[in-house]
Amino acid sequence: MEKNVVNHKSYLDELNDIQRKAVVSGSGPKMVIAGPGSGKTRVLTYRIAYLIQQGIPPHRILALTFTNKAAREMKDRIERVVGAAAKRVIAGTFHSVFARFLRYDAHLIGYPNDFTIYDTDDTKSVVRGIIKKLGLEPKVYQVSAIRSRISMAKSNLITPKLYAANTDLINQDRMNRRPMLQNIYGLYTQELMRAGAMDFDDLLLQMFRLLYENYDNVREKYQEKFDYVLVDEFQDTNYLQYQIIKQFIDYDHSPHNINIVGDDAQSIYSFRGATIENILKFEQDYPQVETFKLEQNYRSTNFIVQAANDVISYNKNQIQKKIWTSEEQGEKIKIEKCISDTEEGRKVASLIIEQKNRHHLKNSEIAILYRTNAQSRTLEEHLRRNNIPYKIFGGLSFYQRKEVKDLVAYLRLTVNYKDNEAMKRVINYPKRGLGNTTVQKIIDIADANEISMWEAVGMVKLSKRAENALLGFGKMIQDFTKRSETQDAYTLASYIAKKSGILDLLQQDNTPEGVSRVENITSLLNGIQEFIDLDEVVEGQDLDAISNKSLAAYLQNITLLTDQDQSDVDDVDHITLMSVHAAKGLEYPSVFVVGMEENLFPSYLSVSDPRQLDEERRLFYVAITRAEKYLTLTYANSRYHYGQVRYNDVSRFLEEIGGDNVDSIISSSNTTAGFGAARSRLSGNFKSLREVKVPELKIDPAQFKPSPNDQIAPGQKVLHLKFGEGEVLAVDGATDNKIATIRFDQVDNPERRIMLRFAKLQILD
């Protein structure tokens, strides 16, 4: 039975003027620039419904999305307007639609029409086999990194032949100690061809080949098949996707009926290959394009909308628009200054409780966003301590992430040789030549004799190679245990992370996912150092029973924190934690964005590259615009980094928000020197970073001679290459972590706290 059909007049009456113009526009290329919360999906779906009502056959409309969910929602909305005809619209993700087309014509490019689609595990297995076949070092030719490189090549229409001829790519591979990558790519392609298989990238690459490489009759067939091509989230398309779209609509007798919807200000996926130039240069590709800007925001209060405008205005390369709202002014944005990341976690939990009581919010109406997944650790700990249920969106809880569990398993085995689950997890990780058969033998003997796997090792008959591998593993664990008698938990855990090979293995993978895994290991180690520094007695133990700086004490602490039935969380009202990338497309009444510090947000990887810095700013824009009513931004003066306390500058993005939109609260009376910019901003006197003056030094850096750090003392005049001349006001901290408070003469924010072991200071008197 058909769903209730909304008549023509009523659904158009739901639209504002500019939305309606976009929906009822005629033929030719159309570009809809849709700001956050501006009704993008409604315009796209009603445009399709309108075309059908104007007589365009549904099966002659192609709508491309990035998620199956978006495609289903699109069809459901269209069906509510035009009825069952919506089912005949060709709508789906790029991959699903092109896979469907390739089932008919793949034989023209050498593939069977019933080709297999290899998933991630399949492709990893193929790459792993090639690396082994070529006798290459797995730690250098890391599987994930190789897959990422091949994916990059395919997304840029670079075949193995073109790859081998590209000097820049070959030189990059040589610098990364992977000169054989071009060979792996060639063999990988051959292997998939032999297997009659395509990976996800091939569904795009082979579709392009089908349309472009001397198959004019095929290209014409598809060009004649569709009267209209509509693309959602166009700012997220990569180079290859756009080239395919062009093949569908670029021909002489075509009116170029391509309709794109997107927002350049929300282009945040360059690490996946997304190319913002596709949307920025669309008007150059189609000079006759008609552009519609959806600038009315229906989601957020005025203070939030204006803050978003403030921030994004700093990006040079963008399609100009001014988002506005008729919603209430609402509450001003709160900026919370915290002494440390620990206080940040505690403060966020406290503010959540306060908001729930004051505004009667459910947990499900609150989200915490962070730049990196590793930041969830302190937040999770404080939410648990306050009995606030939460769920990690689009990922695992910090302590459930594989790399974290792997290192924790080593720590557990160091403390307790009889921990069989820990033993199973790390006995052959990183790989040391022990096959599944060998490991199973150990398990079987342990079970038969009711002993631990550790004790069973000596009872198993093994090959010389396996025996040596186990002997080396055993000596390594015993070394860890011996060190635990004299070393604190952080020193020992850091040693284990390196000596076990986990850290080296993860650092071989330079993909975004690989970098994230290393960050998670670093965050775990930081948590151990923080646990030691807190110097608290472990609950239920006295100081004589267990040292609170020991590895055993730390493991007991996180077991108490993480021993939670996660399945119960799904059944209760919970806070949502996620990265900002994962939050795109979502909205919440209350949003917390944490870790607003330089080198964290924006990321340290982006601050030296203007293009990447622009993307970081777009990412912050996305974060701001997830909030409907309440937005809280937090930053920490100090944060653990590789086990050391690092003092942070406030994020430049906070300084870009106009003072009229902010109601800042100083969460501590501690006004750590070095945060003058933060203090001036918190008082409402905002100043753009563009206005900050860097002193011109009168000294040639080549003549600059740093003085020994142990000679720096209060009252001295010193010279710093960046900040100029200053006076040392105080020196505090332990020997290796001494911090000097210095007042400089010629900078906007004169007082700075500088860690001496990283500073270069020349004593002037």
What residues are paired with 599 via a beta bridge? 603
Beta carbons within 10 angstroms of residue 429's beta carbon:
17
Is residue 149 annotated as part of the catalytic site, yes or no?
Answer: no
CA distances from 711 to 622, 716, 725 (A): 48, 10, 17
- What does 482-506 look like in DSSP terms, one character per residue? HHHTTS-HHHHHHHHHHHTSHHHHH
The tokens for 607 are 């601050």
3-state secondary structure of 54: coil
Which member of 617, 626, 646, 652 is catalytic?
626
Amino acid at 298: Y
| Region at 130 (left for phi over 0; alpha for psi -120 to 50; beta for the rest) | alpha
Nearest residue to 580 via CA among 607, 629, 615, 604: 615
| Chain centroid, CA 90 distance in Å | 31
| Chain centroid, CA 176 distance in Å | 23
The tokens for 162 are 């073109």
The tokens for 266 are 């929300």
Is residue 67 annotated as part of the catalytic site, yes or no?
Answer: no
Q: Are 232 and 69 in contact (CB under 8 A)?
A: no
Q: Are 25 and 288 in contact (CB under 8 A)?
A: no
Which member of 233, 327, 365, 725 is catalytic?
233
Separation of alpha carbons 286 and 277, rounded Å: 14
CA distances from 579 to 584, 592, 593, 601 (A): 9, 11, 10, 12
Helices (H), ranges, 89-238: 94-105, 120-133, 143-155, 160-164, 167-175, 181-194, 200-212, 216-225
Q: Are 189 and 118 in contact (CB under 8 A)?
A: no
Helix axes 302-312, 610-624, angle to 10 degrees: 180
Which member of 266, 375, 529, 741 is catalytic?
266
| Region at 368 (left for phi over 0; alpha for psi -120 to 50; beta for the rest) | beta
Which member of 21, 41, 246, 738 is catalytic?
41
Separation of alpha carbons 335 and 595, rounded Å: 11
3-state secondary structure of 136: coil
Which member of 19, 30, 40, 652 is catalytic?
40
Q: Are 269 and 233 in contact (CB under 8 A)?
A: no
Is residue 266 annotated as part of the catalytic site, yes or no?
Answer: yes
Separation of alpha carbons 607 and 455, rounded Å: 52
Task: Give the H or E element holding residue 715.
Answer: none
Residues 6+ apart with CB under 8 A from 704: 719, 721, 760, 762
Beta carbons within 10 angstroms of residue 634's beta carbon:
25
Task: Give the H or E element holding residue 229.
Answer: strand 228-231
N-term to C-term CA, the chain: 90
Separation of alpha carbons 146 and 166, rounded Å: 17
Task: Give the H or E element holding residue 576.
Answer: strand 575-579
Is residue 233 annotated as part of the catalytic site, yes or no?
Answer: yes
Which member of 105, 173, 201, 232 is catalytic?
232
Q: Are 621 and 308 in contact (CB under 8 A)?
A: yes
Helices (H), ranges, 606-706: 610-624, 652-655, 676-682
Separation of alpha carbons 319 and 573, rounded Å: 40
Q: Are 618 and 267 in contact (CB under 8 A)?
A: yes
- What does 628-649 look like in DSSP terms, one character per residue? EEEEEEEEEEEEEETTEEEE-P
Helices (H), ranges, 398-463: 402-415, 420-426, 436-449, 453-456
Residues carrying an active site annotation: 40-41, 232-233, 266, 626
